Copies of this chain bind each other. A is one copy, B any other.
Amino acid sequence: MIRVGVVGGTGYTGVELLRLLLRHPGVTVSLITSRGEAGRRLDDLFPSLLGACDLTFTDPAEADYSACDLVFFATPHNVAMREVPALIEQGVRVVDLSADFRLRDVELWEHWYGETHAAPELCAEAVYGLPEVNRNAIRGAQLVACPGCYPTAVQLGFLPLLEAGVIDTSGLIASCGSGVSGAGRQAKLGSLLTEAGESLAAYGVAGHRHLPEMEQGLASMTAEAIQLTFVPHLVPMSRGIHATLFAKLTSSDVDLQSLFETRFTAEPAVVVLPQGSHPATRSVRGANTCQLSVAQPQGRDTVVVMSAIDNLVKGAAGQAVQAMNLMLDQPETTGLEGIALAP
């Protein structure tokens, strides 16, 4: 039985990670730490876990990670970069769900996050945890940086088009919507039901921290320079990311449907929908799945890709477990077979 630890775990990615790990047949959660909640039962904080475990939060200062085969960081950014180096040194493998190691370019990270990176030497070494692109590197990684939720939906959607070289990479557009859980389990005015409910609005149009992550990832799929306009929207629902992607086709005779189906045929976490279908976040709620479809409206030269994930699963905790399975030679989908909860 593999022994894993969870650092943080008091937020929505944390409780989702525990939902998956506590039912993973090959794993035991042996440690969960939180400074603020030390000593508190996990199921007191999250009543959805009542009856499912007896875990209690440990103070990080008293935590002994050496008995763990792998440790997840489900913390806000700025925590993992301080604590991961010591774990790596101990030989503990790490899956970081935060943003600390997602950008290889340390300066770019420091520009977008407005602070000095505490472990710059690990940025280049960390493997970006998108299995559909980096499966083999993840297998051997000591440190995996899990992709953000928007970047997962956007990169999977552009992937076949960029690899095939059939779009103009200088004018990519991603118009995306996220459920409110993307803003975290924090008491923010803008996340109140009374504010976010019954409303649709864009946010962060001037610049969102997922933009450089997306441009880095998209650039790795092509030799061309990437320029992406990214507009996120807050959608009145708890879970889900939907990305609508636009690009100009540079080739007129590409069979888009077949391109997508072929690219993802062997991918366990990606489903390409039949032509004319539209993915919906409700169809992937709770599941480690990205549903994709591709269209060419009016037969004109703009291609439209639609991509739907659960931001907490394929966009966070599920993807982290997928990475863990690869790292620890488990079947890639173990613990991730849960079917989406609909309605």
Chain B hits for A238, CB < 8 A: 193-194, 197-198, 343
Give A281 to B244 CA distance when docked, in angstroms: 20
Chain B hits for A281, CB < 8 A: 198-201
Q: Chain A 174-198, CB within 8 Å of chain B: the 1/0 string?
A: 0101011100011111011111111
**Which of A48-56, A87-95, A144-152 is found at the contact surface with chain B?**
A48-56
- Of A52, A239, A339, most B-chain CB atoms within 10 Å: A339
A285, CB-defined interface residue at 8 Å: yes
Contacts A207-B298, A337-B23: A233 and B237 contacting too (C-beta < 8 A)?
no
A61, CB-defined interface residue at 8 Å: no
Chain B hits for A138, CB < 8 A: none
In the assembled complex, how far is the CB of residue A240 from the closest CB belonging to chain B, in whole angstroms? 6
A320, CB-defined interface residue at 8 Å: no
A235, CB-defined interface residue at 8 Å: yes
In the assembled complex, how far is the CB of residue A111 from the closest CB belonging to chain B, in whole angstroms? 12
Q: For this complex, into which size category does the number of interface residues on chain A fall?
A: 35 or more
Is the beta-carbon distance between A206 and B295 smaller than 8 angstroms?
yes
Number of copies: 4
**Which of A216-224, A251-259, A270-278 is found at the contact surface with chain B?**
A270-278
Chain B hits for A188, CB < 8 A: 187, 192
In the assembled complex, how far is the CB of residue A137 from the closest CB belonging to chain B, in whole angstroms? 25
- Of A173, A337, A343, most B-chain CB atoms within 10 Å: A343
Q: Chain A 223-248, CB within 8 Å of chain B: the 1/0 string?
A: 00001011101011111101010101
Give A23 to B47 CA distance when docked, in angstroms: 24
Is the beta-carbon distance between A196 and B193 smaller than 8 angstroms?
yes
Contact of A246 among B227, B236, B246, B338 (CB under 8 A): B246
A26, CB-defined interface residue at 8 Å: no
Contacts A192-B180, A271-B51: A187 and B185 contacting too (C-beta < 8 A)?
no
Beyond A173-B173, A180-B197, 15 additional pairs, beta carbon < 8 A: A47-B342, A50-B283, A50-B291, A180-B193, A181-B194, A185-B194, A192-B193, A193-B196, A195-B343, A198-B239, A202-B242, A206-B297, A207-B297, A229-B297, A246-B246
CB<8 Å pairs between A and B, sample of 11: A12-B194, A47-B291, A50-B289, A52-B339, A194-B343, A198-B285, A200-B237, A200-B281, A205-B306, A231-B244, A235-B235
Chain A interface residues (CB < 8 Å from chain B) = 12, 15, 19, 22-23, 46-52, 171, 173, 175, 177, 179-181, 185-189, 191-203, 205-207, 211, 227, 229-231, 233, 235-240, 242, 244, 246, 248, 271, 273, 276-287, 289, 291, 295, 297-298, 300, 302, 304, 306, 308, 337-343
